[in-house]
Amino acid sequence: MTLVEVVNEAWGWTGLTARRIIAESSMGHLVLTDTEDRLFYLDPDGMALIPLGTEAEAQAHLASEEAKELWSGGALVTEARKRFGEPPEGSVFTIKPHAMIEGRYEPESLCVMPLDELIRFTGDVAQQIKDLPDGSPIQLEVTD
């Protein structure tokens, strides 16, 4: 299964039909286009799909300091490289799933994960928690 197919399977519930992955960060963040050539930012650890709009709007968004820091992973990627070296082909640095849900973005919570697994996991969790206010207790449904 291609990464575009994985994105559509995991995040299609948002209404997205991805057509092409434009860029991929070391932390598994993606910039992609849909079938109408609109651009989107998929932030897996933030469990968010952010519409960027046109190419000019996307460039403006991605030029912000916050977006640059999210994309690069900053100190977390630096620490991950020290601890793990470069991830194998098809894998990225990320926060361990339980720490991601808890919001613990710290070096001790880092791991290496296949990108397709990260996209599937975060899409599933994002769908399950989409209507909950921040800080709500959650009970996740785990399926195989």
- Say if CB 7 and CB 17 are below 8 A apart: no
**Tens digit of each residue's pLDDT (9 = 90 or more) over 3-42:** 999 999 999 999 999 999 999 999 999 999 999 999 999 9
pTM (two decimals): 0.89
Q: CA–CA distance from 58 to each of 38, 41, 51, 73, 78 (Å)?
A: 9, 9, 9, 19, 26
Look at strands 91-95 and 48-53 and give their pairing.
unpaired
Question: Token pair for residue 94?
Answer: 């990320």
CA Rg value for the chain: 15
Higher pLDDT, 54 or 5: 5
Answer for the pair 90, 117: CB distance below 8 angstroms, yes or no.
no
For residues 114-120, average pLDDT: 97
72-91 confidence digits (pLDDT tens): 888 889 999 999 999 999 99
SS3 126: helix
**CB-neighbour burial class of residue 68 (10 A; exposed 0-12, middle 13-18, buried 19+):** exposed
Assess whether pLDDT exceeds 90 at residue 143. Answer: no
Amino acid letter at 52? L
